[in-house]
Structure 1
């Protein structure tokens, strides 16, 4: 097999986008165990760009990613974004959560209960104390984004191998040696972009796991009455993240916003968790849940501080972490992929140093030693 400068384990949006950026200056191969790229978390994303979503580090990444998502040069000939909006509603017990979201946020409008119902007519006015509307929240065309990055990667000479399981990982004589069914693949740099399996890959590589925890997130498709025109509604959600809903081709995608820690696997919904979440949603709207037309689940993987992990392992030469993106992986991929390329190619990053430090895997060693 050909020589590589960088091998990426994981063909989700994180691995594919980073590989595409790195391939401009290095020889890159992406290895994906599943038969297609984007099989797990990427292909099951709610696909929304929300500028104010996440902690301060993530909001900085959102802002850094926004220009590329709007003008994705090399990935698509048009914006990856389209108008949607997000409406957060709060009852009395959720006011603290609503104010916490508003703290440090930009571009939010405060709505009265009556105004919130004007935006999403099926909401129960009596259940709303206050609401926030973020008009700038936008849908992301995830498949076009993923395939565009994959096309760019190949155009730059990179390679994607799917359906290939990885065995032993060894670091010898300055090279990572990766055993696969097709033989051994080597490179000086190994990028761990394995999503829910990131800590497992770390252990196989002889590195300390960082506590990357996969958490299940479920969703269901609900039909709506024929006289309900919902395509122009924003995504709407409870401020305390008890549920959220988003129009999908004349129907409604509803999630219980579950975050149940699970082992890495090909996720499926827990019927009880889904039913409880749909009940919480049903209490907030005037249209009862009559039936579920389909359901699915995905895994969102979080580091202990809920910020992504991007950078070289402090104790394992040539092992690079690109993991822990949680529910922010798609919308932060442009910024994280550029950062990964900058660090792997020893270039200065355009991101502020405090953001780079907040993403470094070394922060966990610092926390322990401190």
Structure 2
């Protein structure tokens, strides 16, 4: 453990990835907060391995309100939080084979109806955006507003803000057990006993295990392995290549630097929570799918890694009080959109834990659809 625990704390947040760090930053000015992390560094498993982007349609229509409400914090944060934004313009193409025109039409219509700036594109426009695209990939929806997220910078800013507001942050501090006592909790953390009024379970892929350690029924949060590789190409592909996502969910790729791309087979392999590593078969599948879309020679696989994405059974985030156990709060199931929704989720959940109500766009988001009570 890196910091000495306070004599009494109001909220013990388990997990120092983007979910726990953002909540700690927003809540610490109003409550006594301790943020604990089982690993040696915060954000080791999911946040630190994320190839994140702000993409309004990512996650679907039910997640979109959280993404839209988070945009202001990501692009124009308050000066006391950061002196710069965390977004870099990218643009996105949701692309389909000529046989998938109906799917791209449906995607476009769904989000136009929600006032998203989506433009339907045909083969000629796609070829201008993706040099070397094969002719049969002739259907796409274009979103100019998509941006890369500086994940490391955002995560570090939240940790700094939490510390400035008085939160205690401890690493190598796993929660091994907890029990209700005197209207609160007595938790065993990194070999120490800690008293807290509320436990917030923001432990990513480990949330159901943390719940079990606290005597709380699990929700059924399933971790999935996601693979990403960096390719050096034998073709002059521009660094600002749009994010290209298959409408059927078989791949995505985007420019990384001149002549290099990040590529994923969009895999979701159910796994137990662990230190994920890429499988060679997933790397091979990713390359095969890319080569079916573009005519780019591949010079080398320069990097490959895998992370864990965790989903609730209905695939939307879960945040709020457990319906059966007083003093136990969930912040889980952020899937692959946890970075781009973190500002909204943190502000909405902090308000339930004693912080003032959120302001701006976040104030307009109804937290009820994301409540843990839906799994009661």
What does 1:325-340 align with in structure 2 at a 5 Å threshold?
325-340=334-349
Q: Note the alpha carbon deviations across 1:261-294, whole angstroms, 9 max, x for none.
A: 1100011112112211221111111013343111
1:99 to partner: Cα distance: 3.1
- Contact 2:242/2:255, CA 8 A, preserved across alignment: yes
**1:135-194 per-position Cα deviation (integer Å, ceiling 9, x unaligned):** 100011111111111111011011110111221111111121111234111111100000
TM-score (norm. length: structure 2): 0.93
Q: Does 1:107 align with 2:117?
A: yes
Alignment of 1:37-186 (within 5 A): 37-73=42-78, 74-102=80-108, 103-105=110-112, 106-124=116-134, 126-186=135-195
- Structure 2 residue 238 is matched with structure 1 residue 233: no
Q: What pairs up with 1:286-301 in 2 under 5 angstroms?
A: 286-301=295-310
User: Structure 1's 279 and 318: CA in aligned 2 closer, same or farther, altered over 3 A?
Assistant: same
Alignment RMSD (CA, Å) = 1.6
The alpha-carbon deviation at position 129 of structure 1 amounts to 2.8
Q: Give distance in 2, aligned partners of 1:312 and 1:240.
A: 35
Identify the residue that residue 203 of structure 1 maps to in structure 2: 212
TM alignment of 1:349-364, pairs within 5 A: 355-364=366-375
Q: After superposition, what is the alpha-carbon deviation per residue over 1:196-226, rounded to whole angstroms, capped at 9, x for unaligned?
A: 001111111111111111011101110022x
Task: Tell me the CA shift for residue 16 of structure 1.
Answer: 0.3
Q: Quick check: 1:41–1:299 contact (8 Å CA) kept in 2?
A: yes
Query: 1:101, CA displacement in angstroms?
Result: 2.6
CA contact under 8 A between 2:172 and 2:190: conserved in structure 1? no
What is the deviation of 1:89? 1.5
Q: Using a 3 Å threshold, how does the CA distance of structure 1 residues 232 and 348 change in structure 2: closer, same or farther?
A: closer
Q: Which residue of 2 aligns with 1:9?
A: 14
2:332 paired residue among 323, 331, 340: 323
Q: CA deviation at 1:6?
A: 0.5
Instruction: State the alpha-carbon separation in 1 of the partners of residues 267 and 296 from structure 2.
Output: 22
Give the structure 2 partner of residue 34 of structure 1: 39
Q: What is the TM-score of this pair, normalised by structure 1?
A: 0.94
Residue of structure 1 aligned with 2:251, choices 214, 232, 243: 243
- The whole-number CA distance in structure 2 between the counterparts of 1:38 and 1:59 is 24
Indicate the larger mover: 84-93 or 35-44. Answer: 84-93
Distance in 2 (alpha carbons) for counterparts of 1:244 and 1:181: 39
Q: In structure 1, what is the equivalent of residue 29 of structure 2?
A: 24
Gaps of 5+ in 1: 366-370
- Whole-angstrom CA distance in 2 between matches of 1:357 and 1:145: 26
Is the partner of 1:327 in helix, strand or coil? coil
Measure the CA separation in 2 of the matches of 1:23 and 1:165: 21
Deviations 1:41-73 (A, max 9, x none): 111111100012123231000111011111111
2:201 to 187, 192, 205: 192
Alpha-carbon distance in structure 2 between the residues aligned to 1:17 and 1:176: 22
1:229 shift after superposition: 4.3
Unaligned runs of 5+ in 2: none
Distance in 2 between residues matched to 1:113 and 1:10, nearest whole Å = 45
Question: Are the equivalent residues in 2 in contact too, given 1:90–1:239 (CA < 8 A)?
Answer: yes
